[in-house]
Amino acid sequence: MSVDSGKLPPAVKVSDEALKVLQRNSGALTTTVGQHLEERLTWYKQLGTEERASLRLISQRGIQGLINWLQDPASRNLPLVNELLGPAPTDLMRTISLQRALQLIRTIVEAVEQRLPGLMPADDRQLMREAVLRYSREVAFAIADVYARAAESRGAWDSRLEALLVDAVLRAEPTEQIASRAAAVGWQSQDRTVVVIGGAPDQADSVFMSHLRRQCIRFATDAVVGVQGDRLILLLGGVTDLAEGLDRVMPHFGAGQLVYGSHDGPIAQSSRCAQSVFAGFSAADAWPRAPRPVAAEDLLPERALAGDQHAKHFLVTGIYALLEQAGHSLLETVESYVNAGHSLEATARELFVHTNTVRYRLKRVTEVTGWDPMEPRDAYVLQTALALGRL
């Protein structure tokens, strides 16, 4: 149910004499309110001269608005917020927070309640107190509505800024532009940027994204959430415990694989990592038994088959070239071992060497590349690297 903060309820009926007293004392009431603010609100005294004058003007408008409401509520055409805050209500939000704005209203009401009834004729005192309370209630709702709308607008703008940052990283825009967009969203981390991509859930609205961002902040200094089509993308900075963090956010993703990658550097230089994760997510279906989540570097063969140039380059330079440089027939041994059905004895017979020699060479392959030929998955990675190296 929406609340129209621009309308006031029917006015309390007070006597003409009470209205005249209120009009005559409007200046004195404004002065009393100013003194009350100085005495009760410590933060009010810390404001600048122009800011205090702006708040006193709001109290003056509030008292005049009360008079107008009591005189003839039907003649009010000006919205309540504009009547109180003037043509630029955002000036109030730049000066004080919502909490302080409500403290301001409460203090103004206290000052008016203490001063005004004593000036009224006896028959109008209770009515005037009721009028002040009803009017101040609508004022509080109106100002809270202004702050709520501003918060929604800021949230939508922040989401657009985050979406632009995600797009800039994935598109590998110039580092200066990525750094500028990161600064716009308040990114602070300068090391270990983590990219996570998975399927987006059915209800990926602003509330969901806000909740997911709060979950990420528990293990990362910075967190940016973006949705591109059916993909949910996280950019994380200053990650303390990646394994625990992934366990925390994994339930928030939709069905399908979840791929991640990390870059030991600032977000402005993380485009290659992000593109590798994106390619891994696109190619993950080629490995049905892949763990969830899976690192992008564990999907090198699938990424290469899908046309990812980064994966091809890594397989050639990070595996094939290293084995070629290491010598000692390591390339030949890996190829024979794979073709012989992962049999040490068959490989030894084919190479005319002892089984222990084959075992030693395979151990050297693991030391040089980090991939173990005796593990089926690692052997597949090595086999793909050898094929690409020959090409």
256-287: pLDDT as tens digits: 899 999 998 889 999 999 999 999 999 999 99
Q: Are 337 and 373 in contact (CB under 8 A)?
A: yes
Tokens 């509080």 — which residue? 140
Residue 21 pLDDT > 90: no
Four-CA torsion 261, 263, 264, 265, nearest 10 degrees: -150
- Phi then psi for 300, rounded to 5 degrees? -60, -50
pLDDT in tens, 319-366: 999 988 887 788 899 888 888 888 888 988 888 899 899 899 999 998
244 versus 203: the higher-pLDDT residue is 244
| Range of lowest pLDDT (23-27, 83-87, 295-299) | 83-87
**CA 272 to CA 278: how far, in whole Å?**
10
Q: Are 197 and 259 in contact (CB under 8 A)?
A: yes
pLDDT in tens, 39-54: 888 888 777 787 788 7
**CA 7 to CA 202: how far, in whole Å?**
38
3-class SS at 335? Answer: helix
Six token digits for residue 36: 């009350």
Residues 6+ apart with CB under 8 A from 66: 22, 131, 132, 135
Residue 2 pLDDT > 50: no
Residue 292 pLDDT > 50: yes
| Range of lowest pLDDT (184-193, 205-214, 223-232, 367-376) | 205-214
**CA 343 to CA 32: how far, in whole Å?**
95
- Provide the pLDDT for residue 5: 45
Indicate the pLDDT class of residue 152, thresholds 50, 70 and 90. low
- Provide the pLDDT for residue 85: 59
Q: What's the mean pLDDT when you consider all of the chain?
A: 82
Which of 137-141, 165-169, 306-310 has the largest mean confidence? 306-310
Indicate the pLDDT class of residue 78, thresholds 50, 70 and 90. very low
**CA 359 to CA 382: how far, in whole Å?**
16
Provide the 8-state DSSP code for 201. P
Closest to 80 measured CA to CA, from 89, 71, 72, 93: 89
- Provide the pLDDT for residue 157: 56
370 versus 139: the higher-pLDDT residue is 370
State the burial class of residue 158 (Cβ atoms within 10 Å of its Cβ: 0-12, 13-18, 19+).
middle
- Provide the pLDDT for residue 150: 64
Task: Please list the residues that pair with 233 across neighbouring strands.
Answer: 197, 226
**CA 112 to CA 105: how far, in whole Å?**
11
Q: Are 314 and 300 in contact (CB under 8 A)?
A: yes
**CA within 13 Å, CB half, 313:** 5
3-class SS at 253? Answer: coil
Rg (CA), the chain: 34
Indicate the pLDDT class of residue 217, thresholds 50, 70 and 90. confident
88 versus 296: the higher-pLDDT residue is 296
Q: Report which residue type is found at 371.
A: W
Residue 153 pLDDT > 60: no
- Provide the pLDDT for residue 20: 86
Residues 6+ apart with CB under 8 A from 42: none
Provide the 8-state DSSP code for 96. S
- Provide the pLDDT for residue 280: 94
Indicate the pLDDT class of residue 8, thresholds 50, 70 and 90. low
**CA 182 to CA 81: how far, in whole Å?**
35
List Cα–Cα distances, 163 to 54, 208, 258, 276, in angstroms: 37, 15, 20, 19
